[in-house]
Amino acid sequence: MSGKSLREVGRAAGMSYSQVGRMERAALPTASVVQLAKVGAVVGLDVRLRTYPGPEPLRDAGQIALLKRLRILIAPGLTMRTEVPLPIEGDLRAWDAVIGGFDPAAEPLHAEAETRLYDAQGQLRRIALKVRDAGVDAVLLVIADTARNRAALRSAGSMISDVYPVPSREARRALRLGRHPGGSAVILV
């Protein structure tokens, strides 16, 4: 915990060191969001709470729908596999999709699907780590076509266009024709 003892963290967070220790071991089921945030702040962590709309039985239903829309967009002769693990033993990360079968033959295109662009820097960094670790040359970033996401893309500007230089129109056209876009691209679907 950031080089601080449990006593130091507890004192700074206004909690006992034993409570902090139980939180660290996930043995304090009654820890409040406020307690978690206090301890997180002391050790330099940003504690976030997420909620998901219900009663959808799948939390990733939006992403599944986005990948279905991508499948419709690409040429019928192309293959698309989903949830493809990185080729690193013990690594639990996976590509949201891998598109193959390009004419002329080209490396598969690895794709990441984002239903909501909310932290461009963080989301791009996560993808960049996958690219580095998997030794991939090009990535297709597939983003749900919403007014909010279009505004987020405009706000991110060159942060995204520098990493994904192939224009969206060109990438969509290439995929529709069964060809590799020739580099990394962002498309709204």
> Could you read off the pLDDT of 92-106 as tens digits, one per residue?
999 999 999 998 889
Domains of the chain: which residue ranges? 6-43, 61-188
The conformation of residue 80, written as its DSSP 8-state character, comes to: E
Average pLDDT, the chain: 92
Phi, psi of 38 (to 5 degrees): -65, -50
Interatomic CA distance for residues 103 and 56, integer angstroms: 39
Q: What whole-number distance in Å separates Cα of residue 85 and Cα of residue 43?
A: 32
Condensed to tens digits (0 to 9), the pLDDT of residues 123-133 reads: 999 999 999 99
pLDDT at position 25 is 85
pLDDT of residue 1: 46
**Token pair of 52 as six digits:** 């998901």
CA–CA distance, 115 with 107 (Å, rounded to integer):
26
Q: Which residues lie below 8 Å from residue 157, measured CB to CB, with a gap of 6+?
A: none
* Number of C-beta neighbours around residue 184 at 10 A: 21
Identify residue 93 by its one-letter amino acid code: R
In sequence order, the 6+-apart residues with CB closer than 8 A to the CB of 77 are 101, 103, 178
Q: Which residue has the higher pLDDT, 105 or 140?
A: 140
Residue 2 has pLDDT above 90, yes or no: no
Q: Measuring CA to CA, which residue among 99, 93, 95, 91 is closest to residue 83?
A: 95
